[in-house]
Amino acid sequence: MTKKIFGETDGIRAKVGDFPLRPNVLKTLGSAIAGEMQAKEFLMARDTRLSGLWMKESLTAGLEEGGIKVKDLGILPTPAISKILEQSDYEGGIMITASHNPATDNGVKLFVENGDKSDDTLELAIESRYFAADLEPDIELPKVEYVEMGTDSDSVAKYVEIANNVLSEGKKDEAPVSEKFKNGKIILDAASGAGHNFSRLVFEDFGLEVEVIDPEPDGENINEGYGALYPEKLSEYCKKNGVMGIALDGDADRAILVDEYGRVWSGDRIVAFLATYLKEQGLLENSTVVLTEYSNLAAIQYIQAQGIKVEKVVVGDREVARKCKELGAILGGENAGHIIYLPWLNSSDGTFVALLAEKIIREKGCALADLWPDYEDFPNEQLAVKVSEKRPLEQVAGWTEALEKAQERLNGRGRVFTRYSGTEMKLRILVEGPDFREDHEVAEGLKVIIEKEIGA
């Protein structure tokens, strides 16, 4: 069966006001979640988008109608609600966010009682209940004003406690890791999102001096020129001041590090850095990491040169985590900044990545810049082509021939990877090889075929 509400990669995401982000739809969806999960208590949180306020009310109404009591944690990163849920007696949770998307979008991420994201089976069952229910009449989107909401102090304290224990590797006879972080400094760019206050408070509780450079959230400026998608400002600041920094996305599950020279560390480079450290410590289970098809070939070759096996999945931190579990690995990630470290969480957590990097720096007595994995990324061309339908590519006239010619031209020096977006009507084309001009020409040639046959 094909899902019609939940996406293929990470919950629900859409333009605010479009299906399924309507008040009556979300209320009915909340009832369907309650009916399928049969829980008594749920946690709920959101990022800083203005639309999250009325979405919270609609979902809560449906959940409570279905017998679930909801505890509202306010503005909180996605991984924080996941981790808190894992350590609590609550039976499920909802995060209202569209992650790295602009404020005009929003979405819903659903979690089960152990903190894991919902799987396809559960999501299909919920959809079945939704479509079998009577939908209330549609109404206009509620008009709401942004209200700055303080970060839940209990959530911060619980997160810090758990993180201290994991980073200490359970060594109760040693001082908390946070004691070793004192007098350090970090620059934070939280994309005016969920980590703007939460991550700052966590870092401060770990003894770090924190300077926040992203603007105060106003409900509409999330991911607007700042954060993991736009690390340029952070890079300039870190280089000027000789301090390391971290860029998060809107719900703080992505992490992009920036070192004291202003160099931007992609997700691939962070995985390479962590994998090397863990292998040195004898902690890299099965000497294996999991990356995605979007990972740079140079990063893969660098990791393999360290005697570490690399396995790949298509896309999505959920898929990376699943593959890690299947292989008995503990580390993986996406180039975009989702880092999976299973001793911490089954999904990505940008705040924790910064803490783990800080721990390694303190152990080695050096700067982050001194640990830069020494490789140069292969150039690539990435295109997102709008499509009118997601027809199987082998059924698109001229595609197979064009792809064969592209691969012949690259002649083993590079690669072509394509996939339809899980959340948008787009085909993503990646061409990677040593010559950017060639990459560009090959990608443009494939784009022409798609636009002619199924372009929007």
SS3 92: strand
Asked if 99 is an active-site residue, the reply is: yes
- pLDDT beyond 60 at 241: yes
* CATH fold label, 12-132: Alpha-D-Glucose-1,6-Bisphosphate; Chain A, domain 3 (3.40.120)
Q: Hey, do 183-264 and 266-377 end up sharing a CATH topology, with the first three levels equal?
A: yes
Q: How many helices, marked H, and strands, marked E, lie in the chain?
A: 13, 17
Q: For residue 215, say if its preceding peptide bond is cis, omega within 30 degrees of 0.
A: no
- Tell the residue number behind the tokens 């059924």, with chain if given: 395
In 3D space, the residue among 46, 132, 142 whose CA is nearest the CA of residue 97 turns out to be: 46
pLDDT at 44: 97
8 A C-beta contact, residue 130 and residue 4 = no
pLDDT in tens, 116-129: 999 999 999 999 99
What angle, 0 to 180 degrees and rounded to 10, lies between the N-to-C axes of helices 350-364 and 267-280?
A: 50
CATH of 380-454, one of 3.90.1150.10, 3.30.310.50, 3.90.700.10, 2.60.40.10: 3.30.310.50
* CATH fold label, 183-264: Alpha-D-Glucose-1,6-Bisphosphate; Chain A, domain 3 (3.40.120)
CA distance 42 to 89: 9
Marked catalytic residue, from 31, 58, 82, 99:
99
pLDDT in tens, 252-280: 999 999 999 999 999 999 999 999 999 99
Residue 413: partners with Cβ closer than 8 Å, 6 or more residues away: 433, 434, 435
Let me know how long the chain is: 456
pLDDT in tens, 276-325: 999 999 999 999 999 999 899 899 999 999 999 999 998 888 899 999 99
pLDDT in tens, 133-182: 999 999 999 999 888 777 889 999 999 999 999 998 756 556 667 677 88
- Tell the residue number behind the tokens 């090397």, with chain if given: 276
